[in-house]
Amino acid sequence: MERIYFDNAATTALDKEVLDAMLPYMTEKFGNPSSIYSYGREVRLGIENARKTVAKILGANPGEIFFTSGGTESSNTAINAAVNDLGCTYIISSPIEHHATLHSVEHAQSDRVKLDYVNILPDGHIDMAHLEELLKNAPGKTLVSLMHANNEIGNLLDIHAVGNLCQKYDAYFHSDTVQTVGHYKFDLKNTPVHFINGAGHKFHGPKGTGILYINENVKIKPFIQGGAQERNMRAGTENSYGIVGFAKALELADQHMEEQSQYINDLRMYMADQLLANIPGVAFNGDLKGRSLYTVLNVAFPKTEKSEMLLFNLDINGICASGGSACTSGADAGSHVIRAFNNNPDQIAIRFSFSKNNTKEEVNSVVAKLKELI
């Protein structure tokens, strides 16, 4: 049976060119980058060249880029540091964040640290007026943690507008950019943000490798204790082949971003049109035709006995999609993101997310199968 993969917001296939760049560091270049002899030095050179590549593409200084195990560790590090090192006693986040952020800010909440959530508008966007109200009345040093693009509904945050508000009220700003690094151009030198994070497997790089950008004006202590790796910021022997793979994947994504983003968005909108034409009562969660991530289409199907088993039946037919976030797709609780702005019990939400590897023929097959199943 042919398998159709429409869950690229969860993870993407590793590019062959990325694998080729990684292989030498998995075989002959196996030295520990902390070692001073030649085997170690050649691996250290690979890591530092990767750091320069990432920094140049993101418009940052190499000294602001730290390699981690992925987006979750990076978000945890930033939030923990804001509270424990930067003296934040007030956190503003949103109810539609990824659990890597939500659980971190909940964990940071204490008698000393207050947590508030900004309101979500009916289209799934952040209520900017409410955010300013919260900042204006902040009871202490503040961290704002809001994601750049929502992984379930695709809504895009105006990162500059939020950053400017944070500057106005002297707050720290962390943005979870896992869904946008490798998909959008960044110019961090001219973006008012203190922390962002990325994960290689979201743009055809390896799993288990990510970055944390820490603005050069921010001084924090390490989250993971141990050795002096990553300039004393992240202990543990570096994932050298993962780091090289991350940089190569980001380089390829940056080179082909314009044509690939147009292609993927055209595919997404084609599927939206086909669903509207073929399935009565279908709707879309999020700001589909406004500020929206071009890889994600979150579809609301009318709830029936058939649609309640939709994900299961798609899987049986070789179609990979998600009921929201991949991190909760095995649970019955449903999506905390959808509940935050659309608590309609008569709808079933399915997320389809696309990459450069998908085709119109695949969209046609999926829509035909959905028509048959519903």
CB 77 within 8 A of CB 223: yes
Query: Catalytic site residue 327?
Result: yes
Which single residue is written with the structure tokens 């979500």?
120
- In three-state secondary structure terms, 197 is strand
Q: What pairing do the DSSP bridges indicate for beta strands 210-214 and 65-68?
A: antiparallel
- In three-state secondary structure terms, 111 is coil
DSSP for 155-189, written as a single string = BBP-HHHHHHHHHHTT-EEEEE-TTTBTTB---GG
Q: How far apart are CA 7 and CA 4, in angstroms?
A: 9
> Rg of the chain over CA atoms, in angstroms?
21
Q: Which one of 88, 166, 320, 327 is the catalytic residue?
A: 327
Nearest to 245 by CA among 41, 54, 31: 54
CA distance readout (Å), 356 to 8, 127, 256, 263, 362? 10, 33, 10, 7, 12
| Residue 51: exposure state from Cβ atoms within 10 A (0-12, 13-18, ≥19) | buried
- Which sequence positions are flagged as catalytic? 327
